[in-house]
């Protein structure tokens, strides 16, 4: 019996060590450009989800809903992306979701700056390449380098809100981006480690 148990255990231990080593190497190795580009496409799929892109407009107003319709109440961008006096974002959007009334909320609710628009003026999402170019342009992205972009995607409260967006006025839950926040951060990390490559097409 002992020899049988040993025969069963040894391969299992070897396999476990091998998996562990493989995982560690995946974390430490620099991804290839192709792997980086693949990771970027995952990131892009999140950025263009309504929970994210609704506040990355090219227009003078935010959007709302999965159909990305114009925001109610004639809300406008304002000079700092926070609305205007009398009609500030914070006049409805509180520090956290208000599920009993269906109004989403989070710290410092605001629109992304126009330099981080991910749509054209007709509300069509920009291409993967165009968003990538803008996101990696430090003259447009608040001077963030790769690690800065990773930190933003990992920690920024409004980014994290996309995965806890609360309930609609009818009580149903808002839809989520196409992957978990952890997967999004991991994809961002791979893209950053690969040197933030961008697709070369338009």
- Could you list the residues that contact another protein (CB under 8 A)? 72-76, 78, 84-88, 90-92, 94-96, 98, 100-103, 105, 169
If the CB atoms of residues 44 and 161 are measured against another protein, the closer one turns out to be 161
Name the minimum Å distance from CB 168 to another protein: 11
If the CB atoms of residues 21 and 60 are measured against another protein, the closer one turns out to be 60
If the CB atoms of residues 74 and 200 are measured against another protein, the closer one turns out to be 74
Q: Is there a contact between 51 and 179 (Cβ–Cβ < 8 Å)? A: no
The counts of H helices and E strands in the chain are 7, 4
If the CB atoms of residues 102 and 146 are measured against another protein, the closer one turns out to be 102
> How many angstroms separate the CA atoms of 170 and 179, rounded?
25
Q: Any residues with CB less than 8 A from the CB of 183 and at least 6 apart, and which?
A: 42
Name the minimum Å distance from CB 83 to another protein: 9
Name the minimum Å distance from CB 93 to another protein: 10
Name the minimum Å distance from CB 114 to another protein: 16
> How many angstroms separate the CA atoms of 109 and 158, rounded?
7
Name the minimum Å distance from CB 20 to another protein: 46
If the CB atoms of residues 102 and 199 are measured against another protein, the closer one turns out to be 102
Name the minimum Å distance from CB 163 to another protein: 21
Token pair 């304002």 in the structure block, residue: 78
If the CB atoms of residues 50 and 83 are measured against another protein, the closer one turns out to be 83
Q: Which DSSP helix (H) or strand (E) runs through 64?
A: strand 63-64
> How many angstroms separate the CA atoms of 163 and 169, rounded?
18
């Amino acid at each position: 019996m002992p020899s049988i148990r040993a025969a069963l255990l040894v391969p299992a231990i070897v396999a476990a060590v091998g998996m562990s080593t493989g995982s560690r190497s995946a974390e430490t190795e620099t991804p290839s450009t192709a792997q980086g580009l693949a990771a970027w496409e995952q990131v892009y799929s999140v950025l263009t989800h309504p929970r994210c892109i609704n506040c990355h407009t090219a227009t003078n107003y935010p959007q709302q809903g999965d159909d990305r319709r114009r925001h109610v109440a004639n809300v406008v961008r304002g000079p700092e992306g926070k609305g205007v006096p009398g009609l500030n974002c914070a006049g409805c959007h509180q520090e956290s979701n208000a599920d009993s009334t269906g109004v989403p909320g989070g710290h410092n609710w605001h629109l992304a700056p126009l330099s981080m628009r991910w749509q054209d003026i007709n509300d069509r999402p920009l291409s993967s390449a165009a968003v990538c170019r803008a996101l990696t342009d430090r003259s447009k992205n608040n001077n963030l380098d790769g690690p800065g972009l990773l930190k933003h995607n990992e920690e920024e409260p409004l980014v994290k809100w996309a995965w806890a967006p609360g309930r609609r006025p009818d009580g149903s839950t808002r839809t989520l981006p196409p992957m978990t926040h952890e997967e999004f951060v991991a994809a961002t990390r791979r893209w950053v480690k690969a040197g933030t490559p961008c697709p070369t097409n338009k």
